[in-house]
Amino acid sequence: MSAHDSDKVFAGSVPEIYQTQLVPLIFEPYAADLALRLSSRNVKDVLEVAAGTGVVTRALAAALPQSIAIVATDLNPAMLDQAAKHPIARPVTWRQADAMQLPFGDATFDAVVCQFGAMFFPDRAKAFAEVHRVLRPGGVYLFNVWDRIEDNEFADEVTRALAAMFPQNPPRFLARTPHGYHDRATIERDLRAGGFTLPAEIAVVAARSRADTPRIPAMAYCQGTPLRGEIEALDKARLDEATDRAAQAIAKRFGNGMVEGKIQALVVSVTK
């Protein structure tokens, strides 16, 4: 398996570490943001794609009226299994599904939501075309993507630390994939190719990422994302060392106690 193939692998202990450490570190504020944006719209049913361990699903379930049906999907069964372990305000439908080939009829949903999933789609125009297909006329596609890695300080420090550790073949998962889809013109082009003819609204949303120790973000990124597979492909015996080096780099910049860094994303809204 190549490094690029491993970018989409969320298996083994990754889903649990992702949920317990990465979700509170960087995902929760953006889940609340998406839920708030959708709560102001008049919708009857919502589809979530690339739901992961359900952070947005839980936010939607808490924010939206009980009458609104929520279907949450993800490509990886292990992520959905992790999502199902956590309390949720009301029942939702969990379903394994590929965003590139959604198992739903045309014009089925009033809204489609996706948090930090578009970066992983092999063919974004095709995935957006699937969203366009299952949306009713007037429906909204609401999604977010991470901004460039330099505006996401912990991820940037981890990437720099690993580049120093593996200078011949630096692990670039974080810059390549999660932080690799932030060019507005490219996003707008892919939406048009997917059938969206109305202009997209793109907002920059900055937040703060906080952790009790530098070890937490190091562990979250190095062992709670597919970066783990890239490190292990280089040298499986050095995963703990890589995590330690990432923690040391974060501590050097942000201190040895509680740490706080900038995170930034783009929130995209487009109507069919």
CATH code, domain carrying 27: 3.40.50.150
In this predicted structure, what is the pLDDT of residue 13? 56
Residue 171 has pLDDT above 90, yes or no: yes
What is the total count of domains within the chain? 1
Convert the pLDDT of each residue in 23-39 to its tens digit: 999 999 999 999 999 99
In this predicted structure, what is the pLDDT of residue 11? 44
Convert the pLDDT of each residue in 97-153 to its tens digit: 999 999 999 999 999 999 999 999 999 999 999 999 999 999 999 999 999 999 999
In this predicted structure, what is the pLDDT of residue 16? 84
> Mean pLDDT across the chain, nearest whole number?
94
Buried b (16+ CB within 10 A) or exposed e, 45-68: ebbbbbbbbbbbbbbbbebbeeeb
Convert the pLDDT of each residue in 36-70 to its tens digit: 999 999 999 999 999 999 999 999 999 999 999 99
Share of the chain above pLDDT 70, in %: 95
Among 248, 219, 156, smallest CA distance to 13 is for 219
Residue 158 has pLDDT above 70, yes or no: yes
Residue range(s) defining the domain that contains residue 70: 3-271
In this predicted structure, what is the pLDDT of residue 12? 54
